[in-house]
Structure 1
Amino acid sequence: MVTAKKRLLKEFSVFDLVVMAMMASLGIAIKPVIVPLAHIITGPLYIPGGVIAGGFYMLWLVLGVGLVGKRGTATLIALVQAIMVIAIGVFGTHGIVSFITYLLPGMAVDLLFFLLGHKGCCAICCFLGGIAANISGTFLVNVVFFQLPLIPLMLSLSAAALSGGLGGLVAYAIIKQFKNFHLLNPEI
């Protein structure tokens, strides 16, 4: 087991791990700011606030993959977020279930990028990565906690797709700026 862990983390440099830790921390730190603002929009529509806000805190998963450019990056970022939320008990925690609800979006991003053969390198894959992260998170939280009826669920998933896609495009814009300033590894 220890050797499997070492092999997984051996793929990443110390710099990569620091970038992933920063993405995880920023994703957690932005949540208490964004969610109340999203509640202003989603409250009257009876949609959970995380549906709209999710696009803006899921962008860190896509951004992390775009900056690091290695498989498993989004899953590791999501894992660090889950551990932080459970250990610290920050805003939006659902107890031990947070482990699953935080981990699934990272796994969805990594799976999508694996299937597409992309690493957060273009606007389309970042857009789709944001959608995958936010829809998977929204759907899982709905199944576990909210159990919305079909019509509100479809409205929630549609809003999640829109905000997730927009978050992915914001991530791509940041990645593009890093590329313009030659701050990324050229092999990404």
Structure 2
Amino acid sequence: MVHEPFTHEDVLLEGFLALNVPEGFRAELIEGEIIVTPPPDGDHEDYISLLVSQVIRKSRVDMQFSGNKGLKLEKGDGRPEDHAIPDGTFAPTSLRLFRGADSWMPGDGVAMVLEVTPFKRRHDPELELRAYARSGIPLYLLIDRDDASVTLFSEPGKEDYRQHTTVPFGKSVPLPHPFGFDLETAEFL
């Protein structure tokens, strides 16, 4: 039996999948870079809670939410598959997307991912942005605590989102179908 030689990408992916990070930490593999993030602070969780509450109450389509769900995203340019863990993942409830899903599930059917910047940024959020766009995640919502702003990225392309709307905290940002409502950000102030 002839064995194919392992590539650098194979070794990187296997090493990443074997990582055992401390409880509360999360590890991601994006564009060949392993990113380990410590547990979030209370304000970070407050932003997520406020946003999820609005989505559940106002969305035109019933939504499921998962915090910290691992997504296995399409790879690009010969890199190993990206493995990202957004702060929040939304999918139409009718899809039952999370039921029976493995630790790392494909992004197919995800309506929107949410990221809240940590108090002190530890990596470039552009890495995640490109990974989500490449995989066709329709909407990417970034709550930027440093800039006190919310940015909605839409129309995913090969390496980026073609559209984005940024508003300061206190203004609303329209969430398109399947959400169909204006996200109020005054509570983020």
TM-score normalized by structure 2? 0.31
* Structure with higher RCO (Cα < 8 A, 6+ apart): 1
Using the size of structure 1 for normalisation, the TM-score is 0.31
